[in-house]
Structure 1
Amino acid sequence: MTLLHFATFAFWVLIGFAAVNALCTTFSLVALFRHRRETPDDDNLPRVAVLLCLRGADPNLAGGLRRLMKQQYPDYEVFIVIDSDTDPAWGVVKQSADNAEGKSTACQVHVSTLRQRLETCSLKCSSLVQLLDQIDDSFEVVVLADSDLESHSTWLRELVAPLADPRVGASFGNRWFLPSRGWMGSLVRQVCNAIGVVTMHLGQIPWGGSLAIRASVVKESGLRETLTRSIVDDGPVRVALKKQGLRLQFVPSLLMANREDCDLRFAHSFLTRQLKWTQTYMSSQWPIMLVYTLGVLGIYMATLVLAIGCVLIGYHVEAFWFAAGAAIYSGAVMTLWFLLDVAARRIIRAQGEPVPSILGVQLLKLPLAMLLAVVVHVSAMICATLLRRVIWRGVTYEVHGPSEVHLLSDGVMTASLEPANVSL
């Protein structure tokens, strides 16, 4: 094969990859643009227990707690477990409790400290096991929420609405990063997250940060026992529903804004960890995902290098084919990302949340961010495949499979405030 033949081959391969990406993304775009906010009547809403596990005080935790306590939902309670007696989250929770005194809140909130730190699962799963033991049979739906979730007033109604269909065992939203400062790491994570949103939608992979599950599914599937041997909460939920023949329902109207910024190192660590969870709970599909992703991004990066090399040595025809393939693929990816971003911003705006302008300095940085995202994504996928030890919120775990998790080191966070068991 001559260099010209390889150049034309690479061109058509990239055109094919662009077409596949466009086809996959179109399904998500249709769902996002055609979304409808479902808010059932009070009479049709089940009793809900919202479970929240806290380790450390996230920047937006106070606002998130305030929003969670004021949902437009007739019958729900919030159950919180804080990682340790000295955790900084106690200060934020106490302040939220003080601010709530004398004011009408939509729910009762129960707060306690994590009592048993299991060594066969993550600390978050240990907390969830404790919370599941706290709730009684009167709750028909269990909702998992993350500490960085900034819910709007009808979030809980919209999340629970799909469960009116008996074929749906769980429903979930997702997050869309809208960084305020536009650090390069934040933009790279924002770009990579778009791939995740599409993949999770098509593959019915739930996000545990905004996930509603039928209480009957939790009980009948033995989810509590499964969590005692798990690294995350959402992966086991997907497995449990698949075994019971129930569907997972993505709720497009619950694409939630995350406004946190990060550097490139954190973005790489974050993406590696997310992909590690995918690799752990989708082990049969992972080789296909790995080969496809590395194939696409590998050919794309090689094409860019060869285009520049051909220009330097005077092979202009070959350079044209290499450059044309890379340019068309880049243009397709950027167009798809912008369409997803427009749809996401439209949804977030409909929630009544502020949406920053897409124009400005961040827009100028996006082409570079997309190139860096290719490198970061390739590196993260390789690391996720080979990695056995994962550091998550300062805790080191060894992960060998969905039911083979070992807690190796546990750094307890500290704060100057004294803890307490409280009910709000």
Structure 2
Amino acid sequence: MDALPLSVWLVLIAFAVLQAILAAAQAYEHRRFARSRLRSIPACRPAGRVILFVPCRGRDVGIEENLSAFFEQDYADYEIRFLVESADDPVCRSIRRVAAKHPGLCTRIHFTGKAANCGQKVHNLIQGTAELPDDAKYLAFADSDAQPRPEWLRALVSRLDRDDVGAATGYRWFVPVRPTIPNLLATSINASMGMFLGSKNPNIVWGGSWAIQRRRFDELQIRQAWRHKLNDDLVVTSTLRRRRLRIEYEPACAVASPLDLSARQMVDFGRRQYLQGRLYLRRCWLIGLVLTTYSLGAFFAALAAPAMITAGGAAGPWLFACAAAIIYAGWVYRGFQRVRLAEELFPRHRRQLRAVRPLDLLGGPLTALVNWLIFASSAVGRRLVWRGIYYRLDPGGNVLQVRHQEGRPAVAADAPQETAAAAVEQVTAPAATA
């Protein structure tokens, strides 16, 4: 290796080392910010009626425990709307059982019907938000596989009263039901992505834990923005960024999410997330792919370089070896911060999360490689299956075709945008809100 190529390689590796150091610093800052926000929760005292929307499909892992958490929020004035495709969905029985234990909370099930020209979750949200009571001040959204803490709703809406804040969001933290390799990899990769959220970062709304003021929801025409789309949260993120409104990340609204995936399900899940990023936040997706490719490539290049260098001075091999060690140390440090943060956010799940520690602390290159392979696979294709429903999309993320498991495809061009109003079942109706 002559002097010029060696110097070029050293510069490239130096940038990778800098990237590793900055990522480690972000992990430290994320945990510091999370701890400070957790301490401030007792001071959060928002007021105003909240409508909480929970789209459901099928029986998620731990579904009744998940649902119970939504009924046990320490917020005085809210109601829950469960958005379900049909009354035949087995989740309805779980909703009714859990709601029967909490008769003091207004609870409804909206039967939204099948999606024909958008994602089923988006269709549920469009139908569920069609009619809102005049006294609703905030709209909150959650996924049925989430287990929020009791102060979740209070902490979430408390961040919305600043004029420059468009939405507040939490994030999901997977809790592996079984310590299998796919579960551990998905948990570690997902948690590492969440560490890039922060107090001043360009955050992204996560659809399983977010809230918005009702007036802002109407002003931004979120329901109209969802039309023909597969994704809900990235569409909201894009809309807020165009209006230069902040997305406030609230660490207290990170939610535990039980996870049990096969290897195929893990790959499909990861590819689906990145594919939606490519379609709805293309610039973010491209930057993420470039940085992930660069850091991983630099690490393996730095490992291989000492054996390949035959000239260029005795310092060359040692410099590359030191660079690889620093990049690896960055992975270890970030894993350490994730482990400690998980213990602080989810003490109830410490036993299950303990299984992820070795991978978080020592498996940085492996998780980074698996993540990169899934990330790169999202660079092609616009077809996917989500909760048993097949979708085909155009380059702009508009849904062209929806095919439900039982048969004939629905083509978006041939279907109306919105079907008739959703049928509603009043599950519980306390006297004060009936």
**Does structure 2 conserve the Cα–Cα contact (< 8 Å) formed by 1:310 and 1:316?**
no
Matching of residues 300-319 of structure 1 within 5 Å: 300-305=299-304
1:53 aligns with 2:55: yes
**Does structure 1 conserve the Cα–Cα contact (< 8 Å) formed by 2:83 and 2:124?**
yes
Which stretch shows the higher mean deviation, 64-73 or 240-249?
A: 240-249
Matching of residues 311-330 of structure 1 within 5 Å: 320-330=318-328
CA distance in structure 1 between the partners assigned to 2:42 and 2:236 by the alignment? 24
Match of 1:421 in 2: 425
Matching of residues 61-210 of structure 1 within 5 Å: 61-98=63-100, 100=101, 103-105=102-104, 107-115=105-113, 117-201=114-198, 202-210=201-209
1:373 aligns with 2:367: yes
- AA of the residue aligned to 1:326: A
Q: Matched residue of 2:176: which SS?
A: coil
After the TM superposition, list the runs of 4 or more consecutive aligned residues in structure 1 that deviate by more than 6 angstroms: 315-318
Q: Matched residue of 1:94: which SS?
A: helix
Match of 2:416 in 1: none
Q: CA deviation at 1:154?
A: 1.4
- AA of the residue aligned to 1:356: R
Q: CA deviation at 1:129?
A: 0.6
Matching of residues 387-402 of structure 1 within 5 Å: 387-402=381-396
Q: CA deviation at 1:224?
A: 0.8
Q: Matched residue of 2:168: which SS?
A: strand
Q: CA deviation at 1:17?
A: 2.5
Q: Matched residue of 2:146: which SS?
A: coil
Give deviations 1:169-208, integer Å, cap 9, x for gaps: 2111112223253221122122212332133442210111
Give deviations 1:369-404, integer Å, cap 9, x for gaps: 433322221112212221311211111212334552
**Does structure 1 conserve the Cα–Cα contact (< 8 Å) formed by 2:24 and 2:333?**
no
**Does structure 2 conserve the Cα–Cα contact (< 8 Å) formed by 1:52 and 1:78?**
yes
CA distance in structure 1 between the partners assigned to 2:162 and 2:260 by the alignment? 38
- Structure 1 alignment gaps of length 5 or more: 414-418
Change over 3 Å in CA distance of 1:302–1:234 after alignment to 2: same
Change over 3 Å in CA distance of 1:363–1:136 after alignment to 2: closer
CA distance in structure 1 between the partners assigned to 2:369 and 2:144 by the alignment? 29
1:38 aligns with 2:41: yes
Give deviations 1:50-106, integer Å, cap 9, x for gaps: 0011111101211111121121111111011212332221232233244x2xx554x
Change over 3 Å in CA distance of 1:394–1:324 after alignment to 2: same
1:266 aligns with 2:265: yes
Change over 3 Å in CA distance of 1:304–1:182 after alignment to 2: farther
Residue 383 of structure 1 is aligned with which of 377, 392, 407? 377
Which stretch shows the higher mean deviation, 82-91 or 390-399?
A: 82-91
1:341 aligns with 2:339: yes
- AA of the residue aligned to 2:399: V
- Structure 2 alignment gaps of length 5 or more: 408-422, 429-434
- AA of the residue aligned to 1:331: A
**Does structure 1 conserve the Cα–Cα contact (< 8 Å) formed by 2:178 and 2:260?**
yes
CA distance in structure 2 between the partners assigned to 1:41 and 1:331 by the alignment? 38
TM norm structure 2: 0.84
Matching of residues 237-252 of structure 1 within 5 Å: 237-252=236-251
Match of 1:406 in 2: 400
CA distance in structure 1 between the partners assigned to 2:364 and 2:164 by the alignment? 39
CA distance in structure 2 between the partners assigned to 1:151 and 1:255 by the alignment? 7
Give deviations 1:117-152, integer Å, cap 9, x for gaps: 343210000000110013222211111100111122
Q: Matched residue of 2:144: which SS?
A: coil
- AA of the residue aligned to 1:355: R
Change over 3 Å in CA distance of 1:191–1:318 after alignment to 2: farther
Q: CA deviation at 1:39?
A: 4.6
CA distance in structure 2 between the partners assigned to 1:150 and 1:246 by the alignment? 28
- AA of the residue aligned to 1:409: R
- AA of the residue aligned to 2:93: G
Change over 3 Å in CA distance of 1:358–1:77 after alignment to 2: closer
**Does structure 2 conserve the Cα–Cα contact (< 8 Å) formed by 1:229 and 1:404?**
yes
Kindly, what percent of the aligned residue pairs are identical? 24
**Does structure 2 conserve the Cα–Cα contact (< 8 Å) formed by 1:187 and 1:369?**
no
Q: CA deviation at 1:156?
A: 0.7
**Does structure 2 conserve the Cα–Cα contact (< 8 Å) formed by 1:180 and 1:356?**
no
Q: CA deviation at 1:365?
A: 4.7
TM norm structure 1: 0.85
CA distance in structure 1 between the partners assigned to 2:73 and 2:361 by the alignment? 39
CA distance in structure 2 between the partners assigned to 1:88 and 1:412 by the alignment? 17
Q: Matched residue of 1:170: which SS?
A: strand
Q: CA deviation at 1:162?
A: 0.7
**Does structure 1 conserve the Cα–Cα contact (< 8 Å) formed by 2:53 and 2:128?**
yes
**Does structure 2 conserve the Cα–Cα contact (< 8 Å) formed by 1:188 and 1:264?**
no
Match of 1:288 in 2: 287
CA distance in structure 1 between the partners assigned to 2:285 and 2:30 by the alignment? 21
Change over 3 Å in CA distance of 1:41–1:269 after alignment to 2: closer
Q: Matched residue of 1:212: which SS?
A: strand
Change over 3 Å in CA distance of 1:320–1:41 after alignment to 2: closer
**Does structure 2 conserve the Cα–Cα contact (< 8 Å) formed by 1:37 and 1:158?**
no
Q: Matched residue of 1:385: which SS?
A: coil
1:234 aligns with 2:233: yes
CA distance in structure 2 between the partners assigned to 1:363 and 1:59 by the alignment? 22
Which stretch shows the higher mean deviation, 173-182 or 142-151?
A: 173-182
CA distance in structure 1 between the partners assigned to 2:317 and 2:168 by the alignment? 48
- AA of the residue aligned to 2:148: S
- AA of the residue aligned to 1:421: E
Q: Matched residue of 1:205: which SS?
A: coil
